[in-house]
Structure 1
Amino acid sequence: MNNLNCFANSLNFGLLPKGLLTLFITILCGVPLPCTAADDLTIYNDAIANGWEDWSWDGVTSSPNTAIKKVGISSLAVKYSSAWQGLSYHHIGTAVNSKNYTAIHFWVYGSSGSGLLQVVIQDKTTSPESTPFYFTPTANKWAQITVPLSKLGNPATIARLSIKDATGTTQPVFYIDDLRLIAKLAMTIDAAANRKPISEQIYGINFYGMDETGEDDGDFMKKVGVTVRRWGGNTTSRYNWKIDATNSGHDWYFENGTSSDIHTPNKAVSRMVGKNSTNKVSTLLTVPMIGFVAKDGKNSSCGFRISKYGPQQEYDNHTGGQPDCGKGIKLDGKPVTDNSHQDTSIPFNPNSIKEWINYLKKQGLGKSGVQFYNLDNEVDGWHITHRDVFPTAIKYDQLRDHTYQYAAAIKSVDPTAKILGPVLTDWSHYWNSAYDLQKNDSKPTNDRNTHGGTPLVAWYLQQMKAYDKKYHKRILDYLDLHFYPHCFYNVNDKCTLTPELPHTQDNPGNAALQALRLRSTRSLWDPTYVGESWVKNVEGGVIKLIPRMKEWVDKNYPGTKLAISEYMWGALGHINGALAQADVLGIFGREGLDLATLWQLRLTSDQPGAFAFRIYRNYNANGGKFGNTSVLASSTDQGKVAIYAAQEGTNGALTLMVINKTATAQSAPITLKNFKPTGVIETWRYGAANLNSIVHPVNLKFTGLQFANSFPANSITLLRIPSKH
């Protein structure tokens, strides 16, 4: 019930009666939601909380301020009229029992000249004040203050809390926000609640050339426990399987290239699919739908040759490069528009797709070898990535018609194929066509409006349903969207939340960016989390990606599964990235995603990001896996210590994944409900203390239905609890 109340408060519904609140949440979400700091006790947030009253000194003024705020709709502007004054709140009636809380938390924003302040408490209104905790507000900047109750003498109760001047002078105005008592960490597992299967296909990865890291890809997949491998990325939009050649597009001066010196048909794909089949890994194959593929594998064949189209702002001046190949932007900043697709490409149509799939079948790589097909890659970016052959962004009707033609072609040759689309990459393009945004920057115009104002993804699903109804045939099996969390540019101007290059993979960014990386995983599920970047300006910025995808499907084309075939939180060479990745995998399982493939082409099995997979898929180096049936798991502070739970299908053992996202060790009791444990608790852990392996601490003895555990700083812990049948 605490989780429900917390969620309701975040939506300003207040503390509804239990029955009504439960009904409201069930209608809205279907299941109870995890909630950050569910048991925290609010004192002030937009207003004085119920149960508290203002006992500030005479002469102290405090009022809501909507211009300067940290959370909610306003902060509290505090002004002292003389020295030694204080803002003070008194708990009405019985004093607060402190045993359930660990600290006092608030945000403070200072002014020029702000001086030393002190926090004190009284366990009774007539008691002396506690030992003070001192702090100084930072001028014109929010700072988070956490005051451990141990610093205030570990009081048994709290009757009054005060923030006082400690300078003996008149302080300038300062601002307080989100003043609350932080609850002690606790976690609960209910094996009978929120039960749902966890799809094995969420543990996928994008990759087709592990050799470049020096590690055989078959060994990598076994160690890490990969279940799906995707042939994808920008170059696959122009892949000519007959000569094993493609075009790099905007990524590298629109140059053609090949995976080998000898043009062997399908070499790169055949190698990957063969490896996948050997290692019992499913293949997700991207098929070109843009209408063109590379005509040859010559690097000198490029979309914007300077010798033909004139000088350009950028050209390939790299060692061994092609200096005649530019990026298609003239010296005056205008794009080259009179180029010919014949410089690099030849036509490729639905019949070409049929021919390719028939070739795969003849080579023994069709059907059982290729289970999933992507309808091209990031079609909403064709006008940028492949501007040399597709300069005008795709429209609503084009996206539908391409899907009808190419998906039907695939199904005609391989009826067992599972098809994923529309493979969009941008939050804005979930709502509006790329054509609208190309023409009008960020505001929907003609294309969306002429389709009834319906968001693009919803409309696309409606069209797939219409095809199904007309021809009695499903040609879209998975709604597939790409998702990259956008960094907040004021935090890091280089936007390295998702670094891709090898030399940045180990760099998680500064402390603020690391905290943002861990916090932003909420964009996958949390209906109260607003994206902390430009996304907040598009449709309100509440992404809640997986629930939103479910809503779109349920309303517009029921039965369609959900996929995210590219995502990345970055820093996979660092523990911060590993913690985020482990959190993401836990969310995927809990929220019921059907398929996911991480975008990271250079990951090796000994990097932290790979260990985030291994602790789910091969924690004991002997095939030990996280359970395959998700059950309810809740933490009183999911943002601090996240928890996920699942049962194993063979013996009913319960597996818990606990992710301590903080820089300090955390202890918490774990309560089990509707589960009969037996034996001992096995513990497996990966963390900052040892980045080279998953360790196996001493097993825990187990009695009763509650046990305490300690989780080291920056760590991922898997607990396995055997079950009595």
Structure 2
Amino acid sequence: MSSAFLSRTAIAAALAAFAPFAAMQTARPAAAAVAVSVDTGADVHPFSPLIFGIAYGDGARNAAIGYPLRRWGGNSATRYNWQVDVHNTASDWYFENIPGASDRSHVPPLGNDADAFIGEARAYGADVLLTIPTIGWTPRADSPQQHPYFAGFSVAKYGVQEPPNPWSAATDPWDPDAGSGECLPAHNPSPDCVAYSEGYHLVNNDPHDTSSEVAPAFWKDWIAHLQATFGGAANGGVRYYSLDNEVMLWNSTHRDVHPAPTTFDETWNKAFAYGGAIKQQDPAAKVTGPVTWGYCDLFGSAADDCAEGGDRNAHGGMPFVAWYLQQICAHPLAGGARAVDYLDLHYYPQGGVALNDDDSPSTAARRLRALKELYDPDWVSESWIADLGDNDANHYSKPNLIPRVRGWIDQYCPGTKLAITEYNWGNDGTVSGAVAQAELFGIFAREGVDMATRWVAPEANSLAERAFTLFLDYDGAGARVAGNSVRAQSANGDQVGAYAFNSGGRTMVLLTNKTTTAQDVNIAFASVPGTAWTLYGFDATHAVHSIGTGAPAGTSVSLTGLPAMSANLLVVTGADSIFRNGFD
């Protein structure tokens, strides 16, 4: 199959040399080639290497792949006590304080999780995005290092509890006193077993069962420790800090300490206080916020009903993220710095395609169509988002995520950068998810995303990892996609997606075949792109590899038989300097 992609001038010779391939070609039904146009002089803008980031992952594998950004975040990061290396699992696992390093004779303990995480990333040159909790609570310093751990809903203290879902137990199997916080009046007649939208919660528990109150100064001391250990943001240390995690879900995820719905005002007031504390401790650091959980909190707070409600109405009817941006620019810190530098969003496509192993044809097709939620102003989400309707200027049923929020940035706080620090378009073993991941990088580059971190780092040698490799080491010798995003247009983006990049003497074109059949592609360049090309790619059965080589026919390159459900990178070299629009 290594000769499957050849210039049309070499096809006849290739067919003669590879009879099995020839048989496949002649058996494939004839179909019109998809036309792609590339103009390296149009829509030129540099894109950030930070779009290739991940959360967590194995340190050695992260180094081998070369991820440029590693995020410490997620639900457990909201309650992490750096002084004793303890985090709380919140609703993910029975609201328990889980210890890390065992020797607490040092502050923080030697070998603590955070220092190890940062050290691994910095050792291979990756930046770190570190979550600074703003919820106001941290795990108690006297948290046990052995079972039983401190838990938010003790069965002995709060009574009988119920399974949080059909596939879980009512209590931690290793700590039977650690309850779910769910209840039924028939089993737990306490007046604190209270109905909510999907069942019954225990309320009025004591947050001090697991946690202690802390103020911004507590985190300034942590940053001071990180500066002493790794250097400041300007000197090789942590450069990026995010303001907590999915604050509009605190009243569910962290309801044992924050049962009240988070509001517009609480979120901004904490952003200003904690962002200011970070900048005071390390002026060169960059801060991201508000760290939304998804689509609804683009428009409203936890106190609202998804997009609209009383809290939003009390703030001029403005969408929450637009209002938050307005506050960033309206309230600079002393000296003129901003409390927040990056608008930080999380986004998961709905409709059963994110964090999902389903790779059936119907789900795969829907997964790939869901990419249009990021950029197409006319695309109606194929999920419950469509039920929000299209009855005002917000066009709720049409996400159009990146242009929408970029418009808010331009209107309310120009110069703010854009980060998408959680997203997922399918689990590691889905080939459609891997193809979607590759196309996501093209979208992020073209649409001007400044930072992105996938949830989570792909497993080693997985299909999803191939998408990162295609951009971070496509030739196996360290060659990366870098430089500028330039114009690329596909005549049928639902069949073959097209994205182009230019760096010095290289023009690179990403071609994603989103269909279940092989596709031919004719690429027309606005000017002679170079003297030679190599095609790299992956599909369900082949890791990233060099597939074929050739020479452009003037301003044209024709490719035959891009494999079904595949991502491919055409790299054209040898361009005259007058056509170079990027940089090495």
TM-score band w.r.t. shorter chain:
0.7 to 0.9
Give 1:297 deviation, angstroms.
4.0
Q: Secondary structure at the match of 1:716?
A: strand
Partner of 1:418: 286
Matches within 5 A, 1:621-632: 621-632=476-487
Check conservation: 2:33, 2:519, Cα contact below 8 A: no
Residue type of the alignment partner of 1:659? T
Partner of 1:307: 156
CA gap 1:461/1:471 in 2 versus in 1, 3 angstroms: farther
Give 1:245 deviation, angstroms.
0.2
Partner of 1:586: 442
Check conservation: 1:192, 1:674, Cα contact below 8 A: no
Specify which of 561, 572, 575 is matched with residue 721 of structure 1: 572
| CA distance in structure 1 between the aligned counterparts of 2:533 and 2:553, rounded to whole angstroms | 10
Partner of 2:19: none
Aligned residues: 515
Map Cα deviations across residues 517-543 of structure 1 (whole Å, 9 max, x no partner): 111011111111111111123343211
| CA distance in structure 2 between the aligned counterparts of 1:300 and 1:660, rounded to whole angstroms | 50
CA gap 1:340/1:621 in 2 versus in 1, 3 angstroms: same
Residue type of the alignment partner of 2:52? Y
Matches within 5 A, 1:384-533: 384-437=252-305, 442=306, 444-468=308-332, 472-487=336-351, 495=352, 497-499=353-355, 507-533=357-383
Partner of 1:642: 497
Partner of 2:137: 292
Specify which of 509, 523, 527 is matched with residue 674 of structure 1: 527
Residue type of the alignment partner of 1:278? A
Partner of 2:99: 258
Q: Secondary structure at the match of 2:202?
A: coil
Give 1:365 deviation, angstroms.
4.6
Partner of 1:382: 250
Moved >3 Å (runs of 4+): 260-264, 296-299, 315-320
Q: Secondary structure at the match of 2:208?
A: helix
Q: Secondary structure at the match of 2:201?
A: coil
Matches within 5 A, 1:548-587: 548-587=404-443
Q: Secondary structure at the match of 1:435?
A: coil
Give 1:198 deviation, angstroms.
1.2
Partner of 1:353: 219
Residue type of the alignment partner of 2:322? A
Partner of 1:542: 398
Give 1:464 deviation, angstroms.
0.9
| CA distance in structure 1 between the aligned counterparts of 2:81 and 2:232, rounded to whole angstroms | 17
Specify which of 544, 547, 551 is matched with residue 694 of structure 1: 544
Q: Which has the higher contact order (CA 8 A, sep 6+)?
A: 2
Give 1:463 deviation, angstroms.
0.9
Partner of 1:85: none
Q: Secondary structure at the match of 2:230?
A: coil
CA gap 1:236/1:702 in 2 versus in 1, 3 angstroms: same
Q: Secondary structure at the match of 1:570?
A: coil
Check conservation: 2:33, 2:522, Cα contact below 8 A: no
Partner of 1:341: 207
Q: Secondary structure at the match of 2:348?
A: coil
Give 1:548 deviation, angstroms.
1.0
CA gap 1:317/1:329 in 2 versus in 1, 3 angstroms: closer
Residue type of the alignment partner of 1:348? V
Q: Kindly, what percent of the aligned residue pairs are identical?
A: 36
| CA distance in structure 1 between the aligned counterparts of 2:224 and 2:125, rounded to whole angstroms | 22
Partner of 1:654: 507
| CA distance in structure 2 between the aligned counterparts of 1:585 and 1:673, rounded to whole angstroms | 23
Check conservation: 1:660, 1:713, Cα contact below 8 A: yes
Give 1:277 deviation, angstroms.
1.1
CA gap 1:553/1:568 in 2 versus in 1, 3 angstroms: same
Partner of 1:595: 451
CA gap 1:683/1:183 in 2 versus in 1, 3 angstroms: closer
Check conservation: 2:299, 2:307, Cα contact below 8 A: no
Q: Secondary structure at the match of 2:180?
A: coil
Map Cα deviations across residues 393-434 of structure 1 (whole Å, 9 max, x no partner): 111111111011100000000000100000011211110111
Partner of 1:491: none
Check conservation: 2:279, 2:285, Cα contact below 8 A: yes
CA gap 1:652/1:297 in 2 versus in 1, 3 angstroms: farther
| CA distance in structure 2 between the aligned counterparts of 1:701 and 1:472, rounded to whole angstroms | 54
Check conservation: 2:163, 2:180, Cα contact below 8 A: yes
Q: Secondary structure at the match of 1:324?
A: strand
Specify which of 208, 225, 239 is matched with residue 80 of structure 2: 239
| CA distance in structure 1 between the aligned counterparts of 2:238 and 2:418, rounded to whole angstroms | 18
Partner of 1:280: 125
Map Cα deviations across residues 655-695 of structure 1 (whole Å, 9 max, x no partner): 111111111111121111134412x21111211242xx322
Partner of 1:609: 464
Partner of 2:190: none
Residue type of the alignment partner of 2:453? T
Deviates more, 1:274-283 or 1:311-320: 311-320
| CA distance in structure 1 between the aligned counterparts of 2:54 and 2:566, rounded to whole angstroms | 23
Partner of 1:222: 63
| CA distance in structure 2 between the aligned counterparts of 1:526 and 1:469, rounded to whole angstroms | 36
Partner of 2:22: none
Check conservation: 2:296, 2:307, Cα contact below 8 A: no
CA gap 1:455/1:698 in 2 versus in 1, 3 angstroms: closer
Residue type of the alignment partner of 1:357? I
| CA distance in structure 1 between the aligned counterparts of 2:127 and 2:314, rounded to whole angstroms | 40
Give 1:258 deviation, angstroms.
1.7
Residue type of the alignment partner of 2:179? G
Partner of 1:28: none
Q: Secondary structure at the match of 2:255?
A: coil
**TM-score, scaled to structure 1:** 0.69
| CA distance in structure 1 between the aligned counterparts of 2:158 and 2:478, rounded to whole angstroms | 57
Residue type of the alignment partner of 1:244? D
Give 1:470 deviation, angstroms.
7.5
| CA distance in structure 1 between the aligned counterparts of 2:44 and 2:288, rounded to whole angstroms | 26
| CA distance in structure 1 between the aligned counterparts of 2:501 and 2:467, rounded to whole angstroms | 17
CA gap 1:475/1:634 in 2 versus in 1, 3 angstroms: same
Give 1:443 deviation, angstroms.
6.2
Rg larger for: 1
Map Cα deviations across residues 602-636 of structure 1 (whole Å, 9 max, x no partner): x2231110110000110112111123211100111
Partner of 1:88: none
Q: Secondary structure at the match of 1:429?
A: helix
CA gap 1:233/1:642 in 2 versus in 1, 3 angstroms: same
Partner of 2:8: none
Give 1:317 deviation, angstroms.
6.1
Check conservation: 1:274, 1:365, Cα contact below 8 A: no
Gaps of 5+ in 2: 1-27, 186-198, 389-394, 578-584
Q: Secondary structure at the match of 1:436?
A: coil
Check conservation: 2:69, 2:453, Cα contact below 8 A: yes
Check conservation: 2:515, 2:565, Cα contact below 8 A: yes
Map Cα deviations across residues 481-538 of structure 1 (whole Å, 9 max, x no partner): 0000011xxxxxxx3x222xxxx6xx33432111111110111111111111111233
Residue type of the alignment partner of 2:536? W
Q: Secondary structure at the match of 2:77?
A: helix
| CA distance in structure 2 between the aligned counterparts of 1:698 and 1:638, rounded to whole angstroms | 23
Residue type of the alignment partner of 1:654? T
Cα RMSD (Å): 2.0
